[in-house]
Amino acid sequence: MSRWRYFFKRLLLSIPVLFLVMTLIFVILRMGPLDPVAAILGPDAGAASGNRIREQLGLNQPLWKQYVDYMWSLLTFDLGQSWVVQENRKVTTLLRIFGPRTLWLGFWAILLPLFVGIPLGFYGGLNPNSWGDYLASSGGIIWLAMPNFWLSIMLLMVLRRSDGGGLFGFDWYTFGPNTESIIGSPPLDFFVLTDWASLGVLSVPTGVNFDPTGLFVAIKVILPPAIVLGSASMATELRIGRTAILETINSNYVETAKAKGLPSRVIVWKHVFRNAMIPLLPVITTEAFLLIGGSVIVEVIFNINGIGALFFQAATQGDLPLAGALLFIFTLIIIGLNILQDLLYTILDPRVGYD
Amino acid sequence: MAVAGCGQGNGNGDGNGNGDGNGNGDDPTATEMEGPVLATEAQKAQDAWEKYQNNQAPDQEEARNEAFVTVEEAVRDDMVLLPLYHRLGERFSYDWASVPKRGSLGSHRQQLQNATVDTSSDQKSENVLNLRNAPMSSLDPIQSTDTASGIVIGQMYENLTNYKNGIATQLENQLATEVEVSDDLLTYTFTLEEGVEYHKGGEVTAADFVYAFRRLAESPNSQRANFVLDELGVEHETETVTVTPTAEDGEPSEEERLVPGSLAVEATGEYTLEMTLMSPQPFALDILAYDSFAAIPEGYVGDVEGYDGEVTQDEFSTSVANGCGPFQLNEWVPDDHAQVDRFDNYHGSTAELDSVHWQIISDDNAYWTAINERNLDVFGIPTTFYNPDNVEAEQDDLGRQVGTYGPLENGDTVNYLGVPELTTFYVAWNVPQAPKAVRQAVAYVTDHQQLIDEVFKGRGQPAFSFTPPGMWPTGTDGYNEWVENWPYARNETDRESATQVLNEAGFTSDDPFEITLTTYDSEVFQQFGQITRDKLSGTGVSLNLEKAPFNTLISRGQSGELAFYSLGWIWSWVSPAYGLFGFEPKNTDTSTMPAETNGYYLDWQVGLEDEG
């Protein structure tokens, strides 16, 4: 089987997975202990309005019909509206408001550990059992052991006390671009599309307003929560990167390359790093899954109000239409990440598909 | 009622869940002659409530007050509900912000046109008052039920009457200039202020009120139709319609519906409004001060018969507001912030502030951070970060604590205002599932003061009655006497009396009565549960604890599945009846909830004589 055929097979396989997960979501939401009608009504409303809501939600339809409607509306991306958490707002509107914040946070929470964790791990692997290696490895273990909620609270406390120069002798608020607060949503309006031109059916942005200061502010605001959120990944990537390098360095082909007289720079860049990335890849993508779930607590403590916090509210307040739609989006993201992982494997590892 | 936003959803899935809530088979019921005593005072409560209803004239206030106290007595003696605490509303403010002192109805009843900030101070560059808010649900006055939305709505919309600064004793006319009540106490004639402008243009007229009240009663989006139809009791007609459900297996059912346009509210002139009630309502003007009775331009939203609407209800509840209040909507970004700007054509004295900005913050750590960054001008302090020793305050003539609090983490000392609020948080029982002795035993071991000191660092007032002391029907002396006579060991833990009353009913430490306390996600009630469980162990009651999300708790309560539960009540206007109506034993029948009855989930009607 060729590598690309393998990839497309994996792509096709994700379709039944998507159906299975959606069915599962349907079963959990419709048959679970939460009554969406009671959630919407609150403590003092009459039965008449209860029936009306039941009708609007389609809860008085036969179950099979509810199932078909539900699947169809999800597949056509008709996500409905929130009923409790943000009454009357369309889920797509909510995604447009809340989504970018989580994406911005997630982006930095994945990027930061990549650029800190992997280099440190590679450094440790290339210089095993040196003092630098010990420092990096044990630092990684301690970092990993600190839970996110605790780290968030500590970071908030240290940073807010730096107003006017604190514990560490620098003022976070005036460090780099000025910020008024270390909590709240990052201002994501530094990049605005102002004009659109239509080319046939396509709309093409022609006017772009980019504000570099705004970009720096948005980065600065997201840094503390991103560091917390990425902390666990950073440590894991460090540990696995180190092991992977050690294994590769001691493998036969590296010995052979050395014997051939290849310069060590070429050996490290062409043979060691590339092969060490193979075990790291699933770690990185798996961490990305975890970030979706893990972002809830960080978003709440830093008051970022992203998708994580929204989903938490929807789930705890019985807003089933919203919770279901968000679960569907999460499923899509996870399946997408899986496909991305397969794609990267296909590119990185020539052995993929041989069987 | 706010829903606590913490804790995982482990109310139902963790094994100790719902199984024992509805196992009625073993529970004694009222019809079993051998069973333990369930209720003896229900008839007394029923009679007292009927006495209140039959004495609505202004000169019969004494009889009404007597009836209220009698209901409280019946509740206390049967111990169907144990009040725990009345909340102390606290407000802290930095020196550069000045907001008039508010009253016991809560910060959501205070309009902010008289608030100022000192822009010459180092910390303020903009003439904007920065506040914090909880997540809001809706901007539509007839739809919102949470205080977070009410805070914002109250700045934009106005009513016929208003409690000035949320102070219970300062009910005043707002858009009405004159009110006349007919001799039979049923017809109210309001004269409206002329020349009051809406934010988006146009004048407030009597027809607008007719439309606004119709929306409140008829709109499918109304969450408070019962306020105008039942609480206020405006005359209206109903018709019986047959509803055919869309489901194939559903039976067509008959339903009582309000006849559109039949509400007895009429514009008799451009500025005169006439309203007719079904029976006298001594608190009518108080009820009209509630958010939902606000004026909106006639036909603005098309969700009642006969109007197309200029905006959809979706827009009206999320992005467009059109009232005549001192501030107009700038924007509301859900869960992030909301802002209102000064309305220059306001009919009263125009606001001093340019804007009021609410940062929406749910988490305590984030809140505390924003406070110490001086990004909030007026705020509360989360209990975790609160230190009772930092308060220095004196009582004013309205019973409020006025003084300073400090230092905060950033070293600042801020202004302090503590207001006893018209709220009652309580635990209550479903009578058929909890013998009287068990209920009384819990009352005996509950030490109110200890609970408040240990759980809330002293930020509350012990509650010995459902009606808060601030509106006790027989005044302060009457209330003090009531507290003196509290029969269940006031502010101490009396395990002896608890054991004795349980033993008499046949429950012993070897053969205890098992009961489950269901609380919603509230740290306070969970701690109450743990403390009470420990105090009860060995007396003859074995208490299990269980947690359920707020809305699950409500729906289980309505279906009569809760034996012992925790909830709170917040008064929307200053009438004991608004809290006590839920005790009328006939109104506590959970089998007819939520359609015909809407009392507390007590099933106290099993103690009525005519029910045998």
Q: What is the pLDDT of residues B24-80, one digit of tens each?
A: 333 334 444 456 788 889 999 999 999 998 988 888 889 999 999 999 999 999 999
pLDDT band at B18 (very low <50, low <70, confident <90, very high): very low
Question: What pLDDT is stored for residue B162 in this prediction?
Answer: 95
Probe site for chain B from A64, A87, A149 (most B CB atoms < 10 A): A87
* pLDDT averaged over every residue in chain B: 88
Ranked by mean pLDDT, the top range of A125-139, B31-45, B598-612 is: A125-139
What average pLDDT does the segment B186-199 reach? 96
What average pLDDT does the segment B315-336 reach? 94
What average pLDDT does the segment B247-253 reach? 56
Q: Which chain B residue lies closest to A163 (C-alpha atoms)?
A: B373
* pLDDT averaged over every residue in chain A: 82
Question: What pLDDT is stored for residue A162 in this prediction?
Answer: 81
- Flag whether residue A180 sits within 8 Å of chain B, measured between CB atoms: yes
Q: How far apart are CA B244 and CA A293, in angstroms?
A: 43
What average pLDDT does the segment A67-72 reach? 86
B267-300 tens-digit pLDDT: 999 999 999 999 988 889 999 999 999 999 999 9
- Flag whether residue B366 sits within 8 Å of chain A, measured between CB atoms: yes
Closest-CA distance, A134 to chain B, in angstroms, reads: 35
Residue A181 and residue B375: Cβ atoms within 8 Å? yes
Question: What pLDDT is stored for residue B245 in this prediction?
Answer: 54
Strand order from edge to edge, sheet including B128-133: B128-133, B355-360, B337-342, B327-333
Dihedrals phi, psi of B319, to nearest 5 degrees = -135, -10
Question: What pLDDT is stored for residue A49 in this prediction?
Answer: 59
Which carries the bigger pLDDT value, residue B149 or residue A270? B149
Which carries the bigger pLDDT value, residue B226 or residue B284? B284
Which carries the bigger pLDDT value, residue B470 or residue B234? B234
Cα B476 to Cα A52, B470, B481, B485, B578, distances in angstroms: 46, 8, 9, 14, 20
What average pLDDT does the segment A34-52 reach? 61
Probe site for chain B from A101, A158, A162, A183 (most B CB atoms < 10 A): A183
Copy the structure tokens of residue B447. 């030490």
Nearest to B424 by CA among B371, B360, B469, B486: B469
What average pLDDT does the segment A30-43 reach? 67
Q: Is the pLDDT of residue A63 over 60?
A: yes
What average pLDDT does the segment B126-134 reach? 94
Of A48, A310, A318, the CB nearest to B549: A318
Closest-CA distance, B247 to chain A, in angstroms, reads: 5
Copy the structure tokens of residue B79. 């111990």
* Residue type at position B265: V
Question: What pLDDT is stored for residue A214 in this prediction?
Answer: 84
Decide: B568 and B106 in contact? Cβ < 8 Å: no
Question: What pLDDT is stored for residue A33 in this prediction?
Answer: 66
> CB-based contacts of B65: which residues, under 8 Å, 6+ apart?
B473, B474, B576
Q: Is the pLDDT of residue A216 over 50?
A: yes
Of B318, B333, B594, the CB nearest to A88: B318
* Cβ neighbours of A319 in B, within 8 Å: none
Q: Is the pLDDT of residue B93 over 90?
A: yes
Closest-CA distance, A286 to chain B, in angstroms, reads: 23
Cis peptide before B141 (omega within 30 of 0): no
Decide: B375 and A180 in contact? Cβ < 8 Å: yes
Which carries the bigger pLDDT value, residue B469 or residue A284? B469
Of B5, B247, B334, the CB nearest to A86: B334
Of A84, A161, A183, the CB nearest to B366: A183
Question: What pLDDT is stored for residue B2 in this prediction?
Answer: 32
Residue B552 and residue A35: Cβ atoms within 8 Å? yes
Residue A89 and residue B318: Cβ atoms within 8 Å? yes
Q: How far apart are CA B225 and CA B30, in angstroms?
A: 35
Largest CA distance in chain A: 85
Decide: B562 and B21 in contact? Cβ < 8 Å: yes
What average pLDDT does the segment B201-227 reach? 92
Looking up tokens 């679970």 gives A32
Q: What size, in residues, is chain B?
A: 612
Judged by average pLDDT, the poorest of B228-237, B352-361, B550-559 is: B550-559
pLDDT band at B565 (very low <50, low <70, confident <90, very high): very high
Copy the structure tokens of residue A6. 């393998």
- Flag whether residue A179 sits within 8 Å of chain B, measured between CB atoms: no
Dihedrals phi, psi of A139, to nearest 5 degrees = -60, -40
Q: Which long-range contacts (C-beta less than 8 Å, at least 24 apart) are formed by B596-601?
A: B598/A44, B598/B226, B600/B81, B600/B428, B600/B567, B601/B428, B601/B430, B601/B557, B601/B558, B601/B560, B601/B562, B601/B565
Q: Is the pLDDT of residue A103 over 90?
A: no
Cα B245 to Cα A13, A63, B240, B358, distances in angstroms: 41, 15, 15, 43
pLDDT band at B15 (very low <50, low <70, confident <90, very high): very low
Looking up tokens 């039976």 gives B251
Probe site for chain B from A160, A182, A188, A310 (most B CB atoms < 10 A): A160
What average pLDDT does the segment A220-242 reach? 89
- Which runs of consecutive H residues, i.e. helices, occur in B302-363? 313-318
Is the reported ipTM for this assembly greater than 0.85? no
Nearest to B2 by CA among B106, B96, B94, B95: B106
What average pLDDT does the segment A32-44 reach? 65
Which carries the bigger pLDDT value, residue B509 or residue B37? B509
Q: Is the pLDDT of residue B256 over 70?
A: yes
Dihedrals phi, psi of B74, to nearest 5 degrees = -65, -40
What is the pTM assigned to this prediction? 0.84
Q: What is the CA radius of gyration of chain A?
A: 25
Q: Which of residues 216-245 of B touch A (CB under 8 A)?
A: 220, 223, 225-226, 243, 245
